[in-house]
Amino acid sequence: MKVTKLLHTRMRVSDLDATITFYTAVLGLEVVERKTSPRGSQLAFLKAPNSEELIELTCFPPSGPVRVQEDLVHLAFQVESLDQAVASLTEQGIPITDGPTQTSSGSRFIFIDAPDGYEIELVERPAGVKIV
């Protein structure tokens, strides 16, 4: 067997509407589909510009509280300007939890927290840099 493509990453959240608002208003992602699964989970699929892979958000209160394990999972998004990202986040009252940090390749990054404690990395890469 050989997989052919990464389709989506699923994240369980406690408040689907608040989480959608964060990803759309703060990060600029687009909701491409929203539905209820056969077992009753509320689902939303989000897409980042210039990406094919989706983020699947799911809310299913009978599963109990959402517990995000520290340092286990984060999503990384590329930004054109880290300085502009920091200014926008500051204006929106979103705290930066780590950084800015510069790598040996010249990339710069920061971390912020999404609802439920999921960590988000925002990366600015210099022209020609392909790997974080």
Question: Which pLDDT tens digit goes with each residue over 44-78?
Answer: 999 999 999 999 999 998 888 999 887 777 899 99
Give me the architecture of the 1-60 domain, per CATH: Roll (3.10)
| Mean per-residue pLDDT over the chain, rounded | 92
> Each residue of 8-23: pLDDT tens digit?
999 999 999 999 999 9
Considering only the top CATH level, what class is 70-132?
A: alpha beta
pLDDT tens, 19-50?
A: 999 999 999 999 999 999 998 999 999 999 99
* Catalytic machinery residues: 121
Query: Which amino acid does the sequence have at 60?
Result: F
Tell me the three state secondary structure of residue 40: coil
Output the pLDDT for position 131.
63
Residue 129 has pLDDT above 90, yes or no: no
| pLDDT for 73 | 78
If you average pLDDT over residues 115-125, what whole number do you get?
A: 94
Q: Measuring CA to CA, which residue among 53, 13, 18, 5 is closest to residue 32?
A: 53
Q: Are 53 and 121 in contact (CB under 8 A)?
A: no
Domain extents for the chain? 1-60, 70-132
The residue type of 87 is A
Do 1-60 and 70-132 agree at the fold level?
yes
